[in-house]
Amino acid sequence: MTGDGPDGPGGPESAAPTGRTVILVLDGFGVGAMPDAGLLRPGDIRADTCGHVLDHARTALGRPLRLPALGALGLGLVHPHRDLARDTLLPVAVGRAALGYPGADTFAGHQTMMGADFSRVTVARLNDHIDEVTSALKAAGHRVSLLDGKPLLVVDDTVLVHDNLEADPGINWNASGRLDDLPFDGPHGILAIARTVREVAPVARVIAVGGHADGPLPLSVRDGDGGTVGLDTPATGFYRNGGLEVQHLGARIDHTRQLPDLAARAGIPVTLVGKAADILACDGAVRRPAVPTADVLAATLDAVHGDGPDGPSLVVSNVQETDLAGHQQDPERYGTVLEQVDAGLAALVPLLTAPGDRLILTGDHGNDPTIGHAYHTREYVPILIHGTDHPGRLRDANSLADVGATAAAALGLGPDDLAAGTPVVRVSP
């Protein structure tokens, strides 16, 4: 997907980097259902996170959401809602991206966006691979059995290996144990069991979870959607009893072919803000983890201020509270966070005026707070690029990987160095 500039589609290839590139990800911000959104839940074909949040504001607040910065960045050109501006005087290129990975998941979305090849990652229930997982655990010296004939494994009479019930069915698997029974770390701990499962799992994440439960874990096992069976983790008491330990084991990825690591190895300063600091790999990055939107925006502004006007830099920030509002099915909170983001953008955009500066605003999936369930929704996400040499409307991208490739081109890294992705707008010399 490329822009149509004076040099033809996309313009000429990039030369040396000159400015700062900021990627701001609104977690769970979709602009309408993808064609396959209803395959798992038929009602999701009506998902439209952006549109439904705007509609709710008119009803609940009696006024449109105040989003002048998002309007100026071209959101209204991507989503034709009556409350979004259609015109922008800023140098922006705008379009949409399909997700480019299976399901709708924050971890997979960010890894794909940064250039990972997720072609071998699948959506699968544990039962689809239970023989393979059982064999791997037994080969590692563990005792393995089914729990009451259910497609859920009991390892060493203590740890449950099961479908994750808090994400879409088949996205993630868990290895869960009580810390009163065994340690989290160590050669025979919960994490070691999860790592063995990770070696054969085709899904995006295997999550090791250890905590203090109110009772035996099998009492909190229940059926989930889509034929899954797993542990109802909130019901165990893990989240309220303190001492929770969690480690996410992602699908095997060549992080050296992702945008942050490529930039750092090229001597470009990299800052990861918010949830991006937790889920993206880059040994050379400055990490600023945060959840409150005000903190994420402040850290993003600090990173841009600190870089100064000279030389390239990369900042990747994630606003998580939009996603949390979607999970809570709270469209009013979602709208409040969007207005907070808009105010932050109004402060950020004037800082990115040097030649070569870029702001790319996008999402990682949808999370429609009016859809009637707490799962992510499989939606297109916006691509709003400020500072492009070729403003205009872009054709739809096939993958979020194209966002990372666009940033790589702006930084002079050469998008071919990424594992996946094609620039949506190339950079003029």
Percent of the chain clearing pLDDT 70 (strictly above): 94
- The residues, any chain, with a CB within 8 Å of residue 348's CB and separated by 6 or more, are 22, 24, 297, 300, 301, 304, 359
Alpha-carbon dihedral angle through residues 84, 322, 224, 35, given to the nearest 10 degrees = 30
> Using one digit for the tens of pLDDT, what is the confidence trace for 406-420?
999 999 998 888 989
Rounded Cα gap, residues 272 and 22, in angstroms: 10
Instruction: Give the pLDDT score at 254.
Output: 86
pLDDT of residue 396: 93
pLDDT band at 18 (very low <50, low <70, confident <90, very high): low
Q: Does residue 406 or residue 3 have the better pLDDT?
A: 406
CA dihedral 66, 71, 73, 74 (to 10 degrees): 150
Q: Domain 4-120+253-417: give its CATH architecture.
A: 3-Layer(aba) Sandwich (3.40)
Mean pLDDT of the region 129-150:
97
List the Cα angle 387/111/52 in 5-degree steps. 70
> Where along the chain do its domains lie?
4-120+253-417, 126-250
Q: What is the pLDDT of residue 226?
A: 86
* Pairwise pLDDT comparison (200 vs 251), residue with the higher score: 200
pLDDT at position 252 over 50: yes
Crossing angle of helices 331-348 and 293-307, rounded to 10°: 10
Cβ–Cβ < 8 Å for 37, 45: yes
- Residue 14 above 60 pLDDT? no
Distance CA 412, CA 377 (A): 34
pLDDT 10s digits, 330-349? 999 999 999 999 999 999 99
Q: How far apart are CA 139 and CA 407, in angstroms?
A: 44
Tell me: pLDDT of 356 over 70. yes
Instruction: Provide the pLDDT for residue 16.
Output: 52
On the question of pLDDT at 422 being above 60, the answer is yes
Q: Is pLDDT above 70 for 315?
A: yes
Whether the predicted pLDDT of 223 surpasses 90: yes
Q: Is 54 a residue whose pLDDT tops 50?
A: yes
Position 17 scores a pLDDT of 52
Task: Tell me what pLDDT residue 87 has.
Answer: 79
Q: Which pLDDT does position 310 carry in this prediction?
A: 60
Please give the mean pLDDT across all residues of the chain.
91
- pLDDT at residue number 104: 92
For residue 426, pLDDT over 70 is answered with no
- pTM attached to this predicted model: 0.83
Average pLDDT over residues 358-381: 96
| Reported confidence tier of residue 428, pLDDT bands at 50, 70, 90 | very low
Which of 118-122, 253-257, 371-375 is the least confident region? Answer: 118-122
Check whether 150 has a pLDDT greater than 50: yes
pLDDT-derived band at 425, boundaries 50, 70, 90: confident
Element (H, E) at 209: strand 205-211
Number of Cβ within 10 Å of residue 120's Cβ equals 8
Return the closest-CA partner of residue 403 out of 14, 78, 94: 94
Q: How confident is the model at residue 309 (pLDDT cuts 50, 70, 90)?
A: very low
Cα separation values, 1 from 191, 202, 363, 397, 403, Å: 41, 29, 17, 5, 11
Residue that wins the pLDDT comparison between 426 and 191: 191
